[in-house]
Amino acid sequence: MGKSKKVKAKRAEPLAVKQSVGLVEDITADNVTKAASNRQPKVRFRQEEDDFVDNRLTKKILDAAVKQQKELEGEVGIGASKFKTVIKLGKKSNSDSENEDEDEWPSLAESAALAASGEYQDQDIVINQEDEKALQAFMNPDPPTRRTLADIIMEKITEKKTDVSTLMPDVENPMPDIDPRIIEVYKDVKSILIRYRSGKLPKAFKVLPHLKNWEEILYITEPDTWSAAALYQATRIFASNLNVHMAQRFFNLVLLPRIRDDIHYYKRLNFHLFMALKKALYKPAAFFKGIILPLCEEGTCTLREATIISSVITKCTIPVLHASAAMIKIAEMHYSGGNSIFLRALITKKYALPFRVIDALVFHFSQFRNDKRELPVLWHQCLLSFVETYRNDVSDEQADSLRELLRYQIHPKITPEIRQQLMSRESKEIIMEEPE
């Protein structure tokens, strides 16, 4: 019997094994699915933990923010508590901006969202014909010839020529001192920049700001043929990697002529060029020296150009020292109409200005006392903005000078308001200490 049972057991064993194996497989499959389902939240939790910043790094960020806040308050000086200082944590520094992903520039959907929010208004600007005619009377009748990057580079090439027979550069090889292979590479870069819309730029273009002869190589790419999106990306790169002097040259020789041509032809400014102007303000000294001051000095800035470019000033944050220096320079220039628009844009930002800036502005307005020309409404509006903002900061002598000015330069609607603002000011006598 025992042997028969063993034989039966041996016969039944394969089936039992198969059934047990099947159960094990089913149980294992169930356990795997349950374990996977139980493990998923843990994986997500670990990923979420990786996104958080630890306490030590958080303390460093906060300490750096407090230090930056104190430095900004030290630059603004007395009265800085009146104005809000916005510090954006997590923003990339200028040294890191070179490594930014080029796909960050706004897409069409983001552009439409910005236009709807009022950040950028892609619409025709209504220009008052009377104001435009009044500004023409103050424009420079003999404006200097506008110089572009091509003119500067050709002058450099001509200066290097010593042989009379080679004064005219070769059309096929305008840069004889540069390796022909480099010229070929940047001609290919030019073909990319002409039709660029979005995406990453060539690596050869990103290294341009680090080259000593970057202007000559930039000339090979013909910046006047770039797309507007390519010029915006180029402004980001050059504003981040060039020093103030070199960035000023790029803004003046490349960005400014393109902006003026775009406004003149389309009667508005392309969205990407508008964003390039905002990006140029990351170098405020270069922005004023390369764009605003040349516009005022040339004396040919139209009302439309001044209105569009000044809107960038009103939308962006500018350090008080750079704004003060620009206001002094504009106030001391020969008046050309657009000066009032830029001055008003800076005045309405309500900085705590040093007395020297206020004195320069008072002198700027007072010098029109004996001007027989009919001043535009923009001049009166600028004077009203100045009196409304700084009436309590001017001295009694300066206030008397402004009241005397109102006897000669009168606007039927604006002048009474200016006079009322001067009457409501607090008396202030400023005593200048003599140097020992």
In SS3 terms, 365-384 reads as HHCCCCCCCCCCHHHHHHHH
Residue 294: burial class (beta carbons within 10 Å; 0-12, 13-18, 19+): middle
- Tell me what percent of the residues of the chain surpass a pLDDT of 70: 60
How far apart CA 384 and CA 290 sit, in angstroms, is 28
Q: Taking phi first (over 0 means left), then psi (-120 to 50 degrees means alpha), and beta for anything else, what does residue 204 get?
A: alpha
Q: Hey, where are the domains in the chain? A: 112-318, 352-429
Tokens 């933990």 — which residue?
49
pLDDT of residue 430: 55
How far apart CA 21 and CA 223 sit, in angstroms, is 74
Whether residue 54 contacts residue 327, with contact meaning beta carbons closer than 8 Å, is answered with: no
pLDDT of residue 106: 43
pLDDT band of residue 375 (cuts 50, 70, 90) is confident
Q: Which residue has the higher pLDDT, 25 or 61?
A: 61
| pLDDT value at 222 more than 80 | yes
pLDDT of residue 92: 36
- The reported pTM is 0.67
**Measured CA angle at 353 (ends 351, 356), to 5 deg:** 160
Q: What count of residues does the chain have?
A: 436
The Cα-based distances of 208 to 83, 201, 238, 273, 281 in angstroms read 39, 12, 8, 20, 20
Tokens 């230090």 — which residue?
67
Question: 295: closest CA among 264, 267, 336, 263?
Answer: 336
How far apart CA 115 and CA 246 sit, in angstroms, is 32
Could you tell me which residues come within 8 angstroms of residue 325 by beta carbon, excluding any fewer than 6 positions away? 288
Q: Which residue has the higher pLDDT, 19 or 323?
A: 323
DSSP characters over 164-183: GGG-SPPSS-S-TTS-HHHH
pLDDT of residue 75: 41
pLDDT band of residue 179 (cuts 50, 70, 90) is confident
Q: Which residue has the higher pLDDT, 154 or 333?
A: 333
Question: 266: closest CA among 308, 225, 224, 316?
Answer: 308
Mean pLDDT, all residues of the chain: 75
